[in-house]
């Protein structure tokens, strides 16, 4: 169980988002198992440590945001009904599993972005699986699809470009390190401290390591750092697109949450935990278009995000700190918004 500083609003929201997401996945999977008349087996199959974590999540939510304990089951219930109406009536499911937060499978590329798996017997007698990616998201927001370390992002997700992606990854890493040094020097100068190439105890004893807690002038310096990295990332993505536009297009599928084409994305949109809409999308709904064309949009002032327009999908690729901004260990968060 994580030690959480609930006096820090940003940290509190991040942890509660994780907890409620885990509970939501469980409630939806349980509801689908109930619909399939296999709820008893579903509960028996849950690992003991996962049950303990669910209990911890529920207790923390009860303490810090108790109304969610009423809202989450309601949202899960309508999501289950929507899935059942649009997907499940064609199959006779005999198993359901929560995959997304199981440590044993979460890093397994076989499952990619899958959160819930249903198993059924096909007409030809083969056992098959339905993979669901499930998200609970504020209305009109981007839906998170992928998170990766900045220093392996291009090499991993654009590996089809071979040595070019490796070379570009090296260039991006150099920009990350150089920009980090520039940021550190500027912040230390502002704090009237001597910069020695890293954030040390002198900084941590006097200032925060969380970007959202910095005073305005310092926060701007940090944001300019992410902006420089995003600009470099955009330039490299443009070069990849110029090299082979079709290959570049195909490389975006995984970033949009389709690590394999059989995943079904289920997104429950809410406003203050009141249901707005439920979206169910398959690969073909978003990417089977006439031409494999996309546009890398200009970066807005001091934005840390690169946006790519793919038909009716906007893919946002965002540079952000893992947690503290005082190390050059950034991550790339990918998310999408679909224009209906």
| Tens-place pLDDT, residues 274-303 | 999 999 999 999 988 778 899 999 998 889
Cβ distance 140 to 124 under 8 Å? no
Return the number of other C-beta atoms located less than 10 Å from residue 80's C-beta.
Answer: 21
Can you tell me the distance from the alpha carbon of 292 to that of 289, in angstroms, rounded to the nearest whole number?
A: 7
pLDDT of residue 291: 84
pLDDT of residue 2: 43
pLDDT of residue 8: 55
Q: Whose CA is closest to 231, among 179, 187, 184? A: 179
Low-confidence ranges of the chain (pLDDT < 70): 1-12, 88-89, 100-111
Q: Return the DSSP state at 142.
A: P
Can you tell me the distance from the alpha carbon of 283 to that of 159, in angstroms, rounded to the nearest whole number?
A: 21
pLDDT of residue 12: 67
Radius of gyration of the chain (CA): 22
Which element (helix H / strand E) includes 252? helix 245-255
How far is C-alpha 83 from the chain's CA centre? Answer: 21
For residue 267, give Cα distances in angstroms to 16, 66, 95, 137, 194.
18, 23, 22, 7, 49
Give just the sign of the alpha carbon dihedral 151, 152, 158, 164. positive
pLDDT of residue 58: 86
pLDDT of residue 49: 87
Cβ distance 179 to 172 under 8 Å? no
Pairing status of strand 295-296 against strand 264-271: unpaired
Cβ distance 275 to 268 under 8 Å? yes
Q: Whose CA is closest to 140, among 269, 18, 267? A: 269
Q: Which residues of 198-233 are buried (b: 16+ CB within 10 A; e: fewer)?
A: ebeeebeeebbebbeebeeebeebbbbbbbbbbbbb
Angle between helix axes 48-64 and 9-35 (nearest 10 degrees) is 130
pTM for the model stands at 0.90
Q: What is the SS3 assignment for 257? A: coil
Angle between helix axes 163-190 and 216-243 (nearest 10 degrees) is 170
Q: Return the DSSP state at 297.
A: P
């Amino acid at each position: 169980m994580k030690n959480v500083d609930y006096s820090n609003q940003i940290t509190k929201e991040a942890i509660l988002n994780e907890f409620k997401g885990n509970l939501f996945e469980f409630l939806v999977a349980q509801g689908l198992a109930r619909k399939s008349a296999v709820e008893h087996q579903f509960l028996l199959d849950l690992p003991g440590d996962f049950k303990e974590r669910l209990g911890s999540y529920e207790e923390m939510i009860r303490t810090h945001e108790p109304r969610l304990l009423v809202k989450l089951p309601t949202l899960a219930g309508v999501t289950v009904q929507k899935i059942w109406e649009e997907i499940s009536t064609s199959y006779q499911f005999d198993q359901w599993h929560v995959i997304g937060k199981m440590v044993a499978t979460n890093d397994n590329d076989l499952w990619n972005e899958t959160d819930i798996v249903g198993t059924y017997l096909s007409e030809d007698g083969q056992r098959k699986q339905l993979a669901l990616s499930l998200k609970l998201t504020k209305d009109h927001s981007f839906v998170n699809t992928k998170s990766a370390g900045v220093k392996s992002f291009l090499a991993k997700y654009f590996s089809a470009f071979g040595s070019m992606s490796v070379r570009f990854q090296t260039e991006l890493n150099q920009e990350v390190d150089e920009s980090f040094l520039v940021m550190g020097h500027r912040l230390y100068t502002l704090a009237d401290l001597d910069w020695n190439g890293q954030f040390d105890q002198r900084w941590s004893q006097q200032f925060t390591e969380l970007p959202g807690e910095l005073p305005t002038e310092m926060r701007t310096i940090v944001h300019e750092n992410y902006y420089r990295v995003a600009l470099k990332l955009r330039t490299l993505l443009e070069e990849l697109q110029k090299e082979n536009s079709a290959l570049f297009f195909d490389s975006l599928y995984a970033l949009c949450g389709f690590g394999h084409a059989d995943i079904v994305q289920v997104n429950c949109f809410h406003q203050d935990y009141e249901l707005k809409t439920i979206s169910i999308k398959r690969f073909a709904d978003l990417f089977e278009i006439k031409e494999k064309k996309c546009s890398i949009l200009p970066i807005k002032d001091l934005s840390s995000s690169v946006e790519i327009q793919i038909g009716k999908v906007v893919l946002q690729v965002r540079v952000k700190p893992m947690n503290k901004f005082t190390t050059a260990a950034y991550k790339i968060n990918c998310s999408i918004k679909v224009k209906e």
